[in-house]
Amino acid sequence: MNLLDTLLRCVATLVAFLVLPLVVGQTEHKVMAHMQGRLGPMYAGGFHGWAQLVADGVKFAQKEDIVPSGADRRIFRYAPAVALLPYLLVLLAIPVGPGGFVGQAIDAGIFFVLAVMGIGVLGSLMAGWASANKFSLLGGLRTAAQLMSYELPMLLAAASVAMAAGTVSLPGIVDAFHWWWLPWQAIGAFVFFTAGLAELQRPPFDMPVADSEIIFGAYTEYTGLRFALFLLSEYAGIVVVSGLTTVLFLGGWHGPFPDSLGWLWTLLKTFALAFVVIWLRVTYPRLREDQLMRFAWTVLIPLALVQLALTGIIKVAIS
């Protein structure tokens, strides 16, 4: 019974992992198009091009899988898996609704989530190095530099929420949420979401894959299904970062009728944040490498420290 329950939860997470990124990807196609005065995909599947990403997937699967002759073949092949799997594991720990509506309840949830997300970047590094291509190597380097700068503010912002809730378990944090946490943790939410965007290398933080200077960064040499896996990991990352921000800062399942409709509020908030991610991509130009670093070290980290101090003061004052 227990084993069956675990298996069912894992399968449900896997289904969510395969469906939600595609939904976000399709939304990105349509939202970006409409923001730029276009229509976006209109033909695949009939109704407003809903099957565009399915068609894309079929196209990727049919392409030839090329490994450059100078590449380190084994690492080149493993890299997409290393980039993609961490997001699947993280999705397992994100609570959707109250009363155990979560893939697996993990005691040190925040740490698990942040630790495992950090591994995903190893995939980009491996891809960048193993391709034997100078653009890939540059992309890998930029990825590493960006990750190391932005992981610190992300951790500090998450630590602030953990302090406020008095627990490091994700369902525990959502349980402890009150509406006045929104203004209290607003700075932390901004820092966390921005640093999360940077870890995903989404615009305006997409210097590591800047297509106008270094082709496609670490993924330049990839084709077919392996390239699709990297793209999938980017969209899975959007789902994960939006979901985490929802759980940590926006109160997860809190809303009208949390017991019956809790999962709906979590999903709605997650998709609202995913919309913001797409919106930012269309709105802002790419940051230059030095601007990117300066933003992390001189804006985000001080802000995260301010939030940490604020959380501590108020926590002591109300207890």
Nearer to other proteins, 71 or 300 (CB): 71
Nearer to other proteins, 168 or 278 (CB): 168
Nearer to other proteins, 126 or 300 (CB): 126
Q: Which run of H or E residues covers position 75?
A: helix 73-93
Number of other residues whose CB lies within 10 A of the CB of residue 139: 29
Q: How far is the CB of 114 from other proteins (least distance, A)?
A: 6
Q: How far is the CB of 275 from other proteins (least distance, A)?
A: 29
Nearer to other proteins, 41 or 171 (CB): 171
Number of other residues whose CB lies within 10 A of the CB of residue 158: 24
Nearer to other proteins, 3 or 37 (CB): 3
Residue among 246, 251, 8 at smallest CA distance from 113: 246
Q: How far is the CB of 160 from other proteins (least distance, A)?
A: 17
**Chain CA centroid to CA 68, Å:** 29
Q: Which residues in 218-232 are b (16+ Cβ under 10 Å) and which e?
A: bbbbbeeebbbbbbb
Q: How far is the CB of 49 from other proteins (least distance, A)?
A: 39
Q: How far is the CB of 126 from other proteins (least distance, A)?
A: 7
Q: Give the strand pairing for 95-97 and 101-102.
A: antiparallel
Binding site for other proteins (CB under 8 A): 70-72, 75, 106-108, 111-112, 114-116, 118-119, 121-122, 125-126, 128-130, 132, 137, 140-141, 144-145, 147-148, 151, 155, 168-169
Q: How far is the CB of 298 from other proteins (least distance, A)?
A: 17
Contact 184, 164 (CB under 8 A): yes
Residue among 106, 158, 127 at smallest CA distance from 234: 127
Nearer to other proteins, 144 or 215 (CB): 144
